[in-house]
Amino acid sequence: MKDNSLHILVVVAFVLIALDSFMTYMGKQVTGTILPVNMIVPVLLAVLLALKGKNYILPEQKIIMWISIAALGFSVGIITIPNTGLGRLFEIISAIIAFIVGYMFSRWAKDEDQAAKPLLLIGLLYATVCIIAVSKVLPQYFPVIMKLWAHNGELIERPEVTTDQNFQVFYLIPGMIVFALPFQKIRFSLSVYIILGSLYSLAALQTRSGLLIAAGLIFLATISPIWIKTLGKWKLYVIPALGILVGIILLPTILNMASGIIIRFTETDYSTGLGRLHSFLYLFEKMYNPLWWLPQGNDEFKALTGNIPHANPTALFLDGGILALIAWLALVVAPLLKLSKLYLKSRLDNLSVMLFIGAIAVFLTQLSLNVPLMDQIWLWAGVTNGLLARNHTRVSEPADDKKDSIEDIDKRYPKLRR
């Protein structure tokens, strides 16, 4: 079987993990139960292992070491954190599988065209479902869960679709990043639809962090041609001009549709922001104390604040100890810094830029959330490390306008193939 055929299995696994909240949402509407579709992913990995061998699936030994360290930290938490059951082991295994799938997806992708198709599929499904749900067009088939929050003594409804409002952006990111690629009529049209649908949905969900992340993603995709010429420099001028023009024409409609999120942006209650700040400060208070290097859980933080910490580094430290925190720095932060250097030096190809923007968006989103073992976090951590492996040879090469596929790179540098 050819590598390209095998990569279809990787793509299917990636799509299944990325669609976990979609399948949960639709499964409840269609069958009334949660469909265990994610169980197919380990089967796909087993098939890949049998047909291609471990070198196709597993990353380099240093990455495996850091994954093992993170898993050890979270496993110790099962013993040291009260009321943590063995179900945590399944969360750890699921996160590791997501990492491996993300790694293979970016490492072995042929080019941006191959990667863009599944990303568009993911984005189209989420954007469409969110649009229909928050518009209340077919509430019997696409219901929303209404949460309430108070503003100046008045209760305001806040809808929720496939997941928590602040988590929804994780699932919209894959479709939006396709906007970074060079212009192709169909691909560009679909990516614009996903972006507009995502902005509309995130505004309706009243998620400030999600809307800011989406805006930042669009901005980074628009300015990327400054460094990566093959993405098309026309974006630098045309997209901002069109955006301003459409914004002026549709301003009354936009203000009406975004009334809920505007209230959240203008409210004077700073407890949410201060809570996130305190979550970070709590980490720096405890991380230098060896007595806290073993996982301690959230009990003390909840006793102090009444809530769990809304900062993923703190959540990693409390749930997985110093081992999980250091492993996260090695598997997420360090690779992103290396890719940022390559990006600014114009050493990334189109595929890498697209996925790099997605990885940055996921990284920034998790900083204000408590998601230490969420599959989406580790899926994109795998994507980041796969991009580094894919672009390893480009560090020492001058930038040019030629798109190199992974097969081209491997042929020119056979010693890098293990």
Residue 394: per-residue pLDDT: 47
pLDDT digits (tens, 9 = 90+) for 98-138: 999 999 999 999 999 999 999 999 999 999 999 999 999 99
Judge whether residue 292 has pLDDT over 60. yes
* Alpha-carbon span 316 to 84, nearest angstrom: 15
pLDDT digits (tens, 9 = 90+) for 205-244: 989 899 999 999 999 999 999 999 999 888 888 888 888 8
Confidence of residue 410 (pLDDT cuts 50, 70, 90): low
Q: Are 366 and 164 in contact (CB under 8 A)?
A: no
pLDDT digits (tens, 9 = 90+) for 352-397: 999 999 999 999 999 999 999 999 999 999 999 999 999 874 443 4
Residue 302: other Cβ atoms inside 10 A: 12
The model's pTM: 0.89
pLDDT above 70 coverage of the chain, percent? 85
* Alpha-carbon span 34 to 31, nearest angstrom: 8
pLDDT digits (tens, 9 = 90+) for 257-287: 666 676 666 665 545 667 788 899 999 999 9
What value does the mean pLDDT of the chain take?
Answer: 88
Q: Are 326 and 69 in contact (CB under 8 A)?
A: yes
Residues 145-154 have a mean pLDDT of: 66
Confidence of residue 151 (pLDDT cuts 50, 70, 90): low
Residue 385: per-residue pLDDT: 97
For residues 123-134, one letter each, b for 16 or more C-beta atoms within 10 angstroms of the residue's C-beta and e for the rest, the string is bbbbbebbbbbb
Which helix (H) or strand (E) element contains residue 160? strand 154-160
Report which DSSP code applies to 348: -
Q: How many angstroms separate the Cα of 268 from the Cα of each of 150, 256, 275?
A: 12, 21, 14
Judge whether residue 408 has pLDDT over 60. no
Residue 417: per-residue pLDDT: 42
